[in-house]
Homo-oligomer: A and B are copies of this chain.
Amino acid sequence: MSHTLGIRQAQKQKTRQALLDAALRLLEEQSLSSLGLREVTRAVGVAPTAFYRHFRSTADLGVALVEEALGSLHAMIRTTVSPSGDSEERIDRAVKLIARHVDEHPAHVRFIARERHGGVQPVREAIGDQLARFTEEVRAELAKDPVSAGWSDEDLMMLAHLYVDQMLSTASLFLETPAEDGEERARVADLARRQLRLISLGRRHWNAE
């Protein structure tokens, strides 16, 4: 069904992507609420008015960036939490996956961390929606896991929330640690593993007393 879209729409999507890329780049050293439309178009090398052909405002562009940054992450999340293998190696796999993702998409991760509580309401809401979807997906995976089988929905959501928070916190820590400083990175990974281990421990004893 992918009808090789005409050279017209192709060009449009190309400049649209250029705008998104330039914005993401500029957002590494400022927040969305201070990002100017002219600033973005200037970086792309296009007239200011061209911006309006793609986005109503910078807030609108921000929402599009949320999709780009989080939209494709669902599959990865699910495979991370899915119960396969020993607990210890699952933890190790999860931490490595987070580190890899941060290294491959640092600007995206920074954008989400920054705008999650940022000054632009529609963007905050878009991020909140996506994170809620993540949490729900983690909850669904946890329900399958024998360790947390038969838990109440409140308990499952509590645990899912804890895992998502942990993931974001760890990603943010990796982001703040330059990739060259292998020693510090190792310390962050170690911290994350210990925390996941403690949560996993609390999980196993949750209904045992």
Contact = CB atoms under 8 A, between A and B. Distances in A.
Contact of A205 (B27, B116, B201): B201
Contact of A30 (B119, B157, B159): B119
Contacts of A116: 117
A41 interface: no
A31 B32 CA distance: 8
Interface string A137-156: 00000000000000000110
Interface stretch (A73-81, A90-98, A177-185, A189-197): A189-197
Contact of A198 (B27, B32, B169, B206): B206
A166 B200 CA distance: 16
A206 B194 CA distance: 10
A154 B31 contact: no
Oligomer copy total:
2
Given A202-B198, A202-B199, A205-B201, A29 B119 contact: yes
Contact of A119 (B34, B165, B204): B34
Interface string A24-50: 000101111110000000000000000
A163 to B, nearest CB: 11
Contact of A154 (B33, B157, B158, B194): B194
B199 A155 contact: no
B119 A195 contact: no
A122 interface: no
A114 interface: yes
- Nearest first, the 3 A-B pairs at minimum CB distance are A202-B202, A34-B34, A31-B119
